[in-house]
């Protein structure tokens, strides 16, 4: 058995979700993260596929943070025979109890809904990817460690965590095995992030894996005070309109950042004494974990930030429905992109009112309801209801949990010298290509790789990584471009292309021709079905 350290990438390679890096050395096997693929259907389909390893032969998981794209397949790993420990920081373990249970409930509910449809069609039933019980079993395998404290996840492996400044409990994972010294960034936070110091870590590695989410984006530097001023202006504006301020938000971290800012604004009497409803059971539970760790967080007053008397955490559906009759309040609910959860119900009750305001504080992916509203739709369909949009639609885009291009490059430079290979992971192709070019200038002479899913590398000490096994190029192509991406690009360009046709009648003709093409596909399908029955 060779004692050289090897790395296989099972996700988050040329894409941003599904983080799972398998390290093997001298018969020991350690995973850094075991996340879920999220996004397009092609991506989510990968969650159903077999693991690229035998879960029973994994000795331990080293978990960087509680986000589902890093932790979401742990319940499945456990259900399929993994009995080792899941090493993480204490806040990550605390968050994981709720994050995984919530993910398990979503899997069960989704499966139930799909099975009702299949039952009516007389088709075989699906089993859920995992259940809430699987999720809690996985949580039971967590073992917590302090930042910067060495531990031994498996024979021959040493590891320790460094603050990554991304969300509560988030860490970069340093590994030593087979004489090789490696650092996995995990997700890295920006400078000027509420709650957490800037990312930390030692210098001098054989190999470094760095996330690249915003590898192609530079943000204007915004301090916490500047961000708070923006929020103050939005809240004042919304209250002067007289209706509710509805904020779609992510349950973990963004909700608590907003609560911190709102508590501060109320304390400083910069905004009126407004009631704030947090209408998301997951957000309420995550907030309790923040309150429990308040003395480890920057900017937080352990006695009052999360216990501000204006904050009301609604639990039951009945309490949530009672919010339909409130006015002049701030209502925060998940999900952040309005694709599910109680936010949809608050949008139904507020979007049609001129006095209401909807404030977006997070990224809205192409094709989500949040994006459609943000882009100015006059009418939207929510859970089968047609809703006219009269509310003021506002946004603040200076809240972020991710380092931008400059901050990623600073982090990489602070890890130098890197004697072997810098792997750029956790990014879309464009972000990877851009960051690769910039990193080549910033740490000249360093070997840089943008690996594919399924690739295996030998990680020798002090020398570039050697690729031992090729990856899934087919997958990379599919990930980069499934039909939903093509659709989004097509739709974005359509109006522009049509407006370039000068003549009104020519434009009409172009639309008619496109319709003819689409109709021909509908007919094709109908014919096809008809033939199938004979």
Question: Minimum CB separation from Zn ion for residue 93, in Å?
Answer: 16
Question: Minimum CB separation from Zn ion for residue 213, in Å?
Answer: 9
Smaller CB separation from Zn ion, 70 or 345:
70
Smaller CB separation from Zn ion, 95 or 369:
95
Give the burial class of 66: count Cβ atoms within 10 A of its Cβ; 0-12 exposed, 13-18 middle, 19 or more buried.
buried
Smaller CB separation from Zn ion, 138 or 171:
171
Question: Minimum CB separation from Zn ion for residue 105, in Å?
Answer: 21
Give the burial class of 209: count Cβ atoms within 10 A of its Cβ; 0-12 exposed, 13-18 middle, 19 or more buried.
buried
Binding of Zn ion by 402 (CB under 5 A): no
Question: Minimum CB separation from Zn ion for residue 66, in Å?
Answer: 8
- Which range touches Zn ion (CB under 5 A), out of 60-68, 83-91, 150-158, 275-283? 60-68
Query: In 3-state terms, what secondary structure has residue 198?
Result: coil
Report the C-alpha gap between 8 and 155 in whole angstroms. 19
Binding of Zn ion by 253 (CB under 5 A): no
Binding of Zn ion by 415 (CB under 5 A): no
- Which range touches Zn ion (CB under 5 A), out of 59-67, 98-106, 117-125, 516-524? 59-67
Question: Minimum CB separation from Zn ion for residue 190, in Å?
Answer: 12
Binding of Zn ion by 187 (CB under 5 A): yes
- Per residue, what are the HEC states of 443-503? CCCCEEECCCCCCEEECCCCCCCEEEECCCHHHHHHHHCCHHHHHHHHHHHHHHHHHCCCC
- Which range touches Zn ion (CB under 5 A), out of 63-71, 235-243, 295-303, 469-477? 63-71
Alpha helices in 391-428 (DSSP H): 405-415
Smaller CB separation from Zn ion, 157 or 290:
290
Report the C-alpha gap between 141 and 327 in whole angstroms. 45
Instruction: Name which of residues 304 to 333 contact Zn ion (CB under 5 A).
Output: none
Longest dimension (CA), the chain: 76
Question: Minimum CB separation from Zn ion for residue 214, in Å?
Answer: 12
Close Cβ partners of 8 (under 8 Å, ≥ 6 residues apart): 21, 22, 24, 52, 53, 454, 455, 456, 457, 469
Binding of Zn ion by 426 (CB under 5 A): no
Structure-block tokens of residue 53: 């390893």
Expressed in percent and rounded to 5, the helix, strand and coil fractions of the chain are 40, 20, 40
Smaller CB separation from Zn ion, 67 or 207:
67
CA distances, 333 to each of 254, 279, 320, 407 (Å): 11, 5, 10, 30
Question: Minimum CB separation from Zn ion for residue 432, in Å?
Answer: 17
Residue 194 in contact with residue 180, Cβ under 8 Å?
A: no
What is the Rg, in whole angstroms, of the alpha carbon atoms belonging to the chain? 25
Smaller CB separation from Zn ion, 35 or 178:
35
- Which range touches Zn ion (CB under 5 A), out of 40-48, 110-118, 119-127, 183-191? 183-191
The contact mask relative to Zn ion for 140-179 (x = CB under 5 A, - = no) is ----------------------------------------
Question: Minimum CB separation from Zn ion for residue 314, in Å?
Answer: 26
Smaller CB separation from Zn ion, 196 or 349:
196
Q: What does the buried/exposed string (b/e) look like for 346-365 if buried means 16 or more CB atoms within 10 Å of the residue's CB?
A: bbbbbbebebbbbbbbbbbe
- Per residue, what are the HEC states of 230-275? HHHHHHHHHHHHCCCEEEECCCCCHHHHHHHHHHHHHHCCCCCCCC
- Out of 67, 227, 293, 346, the residue judged to bind Zn ion by CB under 5 A: 67
Report the C-alpha gap between 190 and 406 in whole angstroms. 10
Structure-block tokens of residue 92: 């990550």
Smaller CB separation from Zn ion, 187 or 261:
187
Question: Minimum CB separation from Zn ion for residue 227, in Å?
Answer: 20
Question: Minimum CB separation from Zn ion for residue 290, in Å?
Answer: 16
Tell me the site size for Zn ion, rule CB under 5 A: 2
- Which range touches Zn ion (CB under 5 A), out of 55-63, 186-194, 209-217, 360-368? 186-194
Smaller CB separation from Zn ion, 169 or 464:
169
| 45 Rama sector, left if φ>0, alpha if ψ -120 to 50, beta otherwise | alpha
Query: In 3-state terms, what secondary structure has residue 218?
Result: coil
Smaller CB separation from Zn ion, 132 or 187:
187
Catalog residues that contact Zn ion under the rule CB under 5 A.
Answer: 67, 187
């Amino acid at each position: 058995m060779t004692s050289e350290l090897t790395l296989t990438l099972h996700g988050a390679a040329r894409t941003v979700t599904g983080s799972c890096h398998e390290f093997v050395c001298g018969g020991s096997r350690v995973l850094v993260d075991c996340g879920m693929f999220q996004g397009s259907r092609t991506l989510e389909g990968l969650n159903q596929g077999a693991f690229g390893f035998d879960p029973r032969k994994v000795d331990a998981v080293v978990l960087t943070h509680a986000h589902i794209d890093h932790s979401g397949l742990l319940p499945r790993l456990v259900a399929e025979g993994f009995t080792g420990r899941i090493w993480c920081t204490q806040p990550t373990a605390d968050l994981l109890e709720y994050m995984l249970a919530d993910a398990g409930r979503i899997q069960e509910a989704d499966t139930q809904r799909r099975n009702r449809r299949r039952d009516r069609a007389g088709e075989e039933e699906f089993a859920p990817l995992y259940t809430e019980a699987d999720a809690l079993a996985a949580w039971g395998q967590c073992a917590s460690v302090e930042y910067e404290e060495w531990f031994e996840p498996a024979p021959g492996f040493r590891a320790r965590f460094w603050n990554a400044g991304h969300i509560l409990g988030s860490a970069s994972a340093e590994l030593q095995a087979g004489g090789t010294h490696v650092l996995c960034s995990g997700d890295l936070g920006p400078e000027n992030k509420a709650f957490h110091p800037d990312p930390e870590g030692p210098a001098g590695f054989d190999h470094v894996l760095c996330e690249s989410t915003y590898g192609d984006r530079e943000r204007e530097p915004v301090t916490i005070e500047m961000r708070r001023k923006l929020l103050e202006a939005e809240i004042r504006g919304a209250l002067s309109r007289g209706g509710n301020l509805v904020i779609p938000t992510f349950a973990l971290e963004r909700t608590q950042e907003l609560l911190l800012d709102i508590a501060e604004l109320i304390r400083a009497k910069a905004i009126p004494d407004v009631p704030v409803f947090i209408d998301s059971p997951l957000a309420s539970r995550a907030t309790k974990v923040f309150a429990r760790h308040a003395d480890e967080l920057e900017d937080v007053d352990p006695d009052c930030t999360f216990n501000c008397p204006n904050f009301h955490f609604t639990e039951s559906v009945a309490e949530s429905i009672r919010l339909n009759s409130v006015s002049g309040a701030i209502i925060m609910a998940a999900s952040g992109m309005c694709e599910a959860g109680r936010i949809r119900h608050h949008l139904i009750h507020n979007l049609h009112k001129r006095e209401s305001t909807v404030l977006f504080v997070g990224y809205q992916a192409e094709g989500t309801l949040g994006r459609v509203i943000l882009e100015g739709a006059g009418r939207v369909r929510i859970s089968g209801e047609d809703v006219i949009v009269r509310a003021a639609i506002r946004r603040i885009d200076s809240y972020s949990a991710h380092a931008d291009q400059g901050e990623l490059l600073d982090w990489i430079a602070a890890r130098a010298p890197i004697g072997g290979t810098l792997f750029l992971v956790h990014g879309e192709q464009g972000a990877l290509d851009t960051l690769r070019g910039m990193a080549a200038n910033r740490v000249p002479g360093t070997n840089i790789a943008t690996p594919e899913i399924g690739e295996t590398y030998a990680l020798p000490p002090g020398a570039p990584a050697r690729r031992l096994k090729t990856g899934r190029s087919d997958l990379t192509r599919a990930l980069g471009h499934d039909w939903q991406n093509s659709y989004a690009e097509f739709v974005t360009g359509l109006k522009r292309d049509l407006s370039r046709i000068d003549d009104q009648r020519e434009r009409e003709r172009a639309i008619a021709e496109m319709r003819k093409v689409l109709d021909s596909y509908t007919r094709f399908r109908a014919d096809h079905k008809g033939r199938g029955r004979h």
